[in-house]
Amino acid sequence: MKQHWSNAECRMRNTESPCANPQGNSQFAIRNPQSRRRGFALLLVMMLVMVAAILGITYMSTASVKAASSDNLVQASRAKYLAESAVQHGMYMLQKDSTQFTNTSAAHPLGPYYADDSQNTYVFWAQKAADTGVWTVSGRGTCGALAQTSSATVFCGAGVDVMKGQGMYATGSPITVPTGIKVYGNISVKGSIKNTGYIEGDITYSSGTLSKADEGNHVGTVTKVLSTSITPPTILYSDYSSTYKLPGQTCTSARDRNSYLTYSDPLCKDKAATSSNPGGVVYMDPYYAGTVVISSNVDFTGTIVINGDIIFDGSNVKLKAKTGFPAIVCTGSIYVTQGTNVDIQGLVVANNGIRAYTSGMYTKTTITGGLLTQGRAYDSGLMYGTHELHFNADMCRLYDVKTGKNTAASMKVLNWFDQ
């Protein structure tokens, strides 16, 4: 006989029993709740394992991406530094010998160069803006599969400042800076000097005594030295009259047998320069006498060389030297006629100085560069005109046309940019 307990008795006994299942299916009543708990626990464990696996895979993937990204950043930084090193190397070589960069480009650079024991490399190339002394030096660094490019725009001056910081060198004595003359730059005189014009720069002289009265209107220092301490450069007309040398090239000067240079001359307006005469050097060798007359509205770019005198006779005359060349090399004097107006950009070599031709009334000359003379520099006959000398060191940097070397070129960075 089956025994049936009341619900109260079941609760008092705190046990599962057939009371919960009057139909007598006691096996079902006891085991079903336990199976449910075990199934839920297993499902929970599986879910936790799955979440952990997903988190682990995600972390490993993220770490791998970060490692790859970090490696790329390191390679990109190395490539950038290599590119900058390439530009610096290129600037150094440009300063030593610009001919090495003939026909170089991004497709045809110099290199490769190795910065260390690795396979990381850099190359460089340079291209020049026409007749300006301005170059663009570019470098490309490669590290692994990454490459970076840097460039710099630089001014590469020719040779050295032959005037050694002096706006005027004069070896004649005595030297007088007359009324109407303004000199903006240092003056070095191998002899004595007297100033009745205006000088803004230091005065160095070797003989006599420069009193305060003789010093005149002057802003700068005054120093007396031994004559051996004043060493002006030696620039001869024969250095340019036939052939001259540039780095990697022997050049031939143009020769003009005319006694006049007019505005319609085929050598004017920057037409004197050619591939075989990049300095635009013109040797004026007139048939009759050793004098050349330069008339109104002449616009000449290059160097005028003459074994004799030059007479400027007219207004609106412009002379401009090519980079690395003087504007005038004259063994005699430079004369200016009444009413003449001349603008010269470059170094002027005039052994007997600048003088008035009959009358200096209403004359005007402006030289931006320097003046080298063995004579009186500016003649007192110019006192009724306006004449200025502005020293410019870049325009006094000349190629060594005797040897063709350019081993002391100046370098100035104008702009730097990374690509």
Model confidence pLDDT, tens digit, residues 228-256: 999 999 999 999 999 999 877 899 999 99
Are the CB atoms for 187 and 199 separated by under 8 Å?
yes
Section 321-344 average pLDDT: 94
Higher-pLDDT residue of 158 and 211 is 211
pLDDT at 145: 85
Instruction: Write down the pTM of the prediction.
Output: 0.72
Do residues 124 and 182 share a domain? no
Do residues 148 and 202 share a domain? no
Do residues 349 and 212 share a domain? yes
Distance of alpha carbon 138 from alpha carbon 268, whole angstroms: 35
The answer to whether position 149 is within a domain reads yes
The answer to whether position 7 is within a domain reads no
Do residues 214 and 341 share a domain? yes
The answer to whether position 64 is within a domain reads no
- Whether pLDDT at 416 is above 60: yes
**Could you read off the pLDDT of 113-167 as tens digits, one per residue?**
987 777 899 999 999 886 567 899 999 999 888 899 999 999 887 777 899 999 9
Number of structural domains in the chain? 2
Do residues 173 and 102 share a domain? no
Distance of alpha carbon 235 from alpha carbon 92, whole angstroms: 28
The answer to whether position 178 is within a domain reads yes
What DSSP string describes 360-376? Answer: -TT-EEEEEEEEEESS-
pLDDT at 18: 47
Domain hosting 358: range is 160-398
User: Residue 136, exposed/middle/buried by CB under 10 A (0-12, 13-18, 19+)?
Assistant: middle
Higher-pLDDT residue of 2 and 98 is 98
pLDDT at 34: 65
Higher-pLDDT residue of 98 and 136 is 136
Do residues 212 and 273 share a domain? yes
Do residues 183 and 327 share a domain? yes
The answer to whether position 50 is within a domain reads no
The answer to whether position 46 is within a domain reads no
Do residues 120 and 170 share a domain? no
pLDDT at 19: 45
Percentage of the residues of the chain whose pLDDT score is greater than 70:
87
Section 105-114 average pLDDT: 93
Do residues 102 and 251 share a domain? no
pLDDT at 1: 47
- Whether pLDDT at 209 is above 70: yes
Do residues 258 and 321 share a domain? yes
- Whether pLDDT at 410 is above 90: no
Contacts of 390 (CB under 8 A, 6+ apart): 167, 184, 185, 366, 367, 368, 369
Do residues 256 and 394 share a domain? yes
Do residues 199 and 341 share a domain? yes
The answer to whether position 330 is within a domain reads yes
The answer to whether position 272 is within a domain reads yes
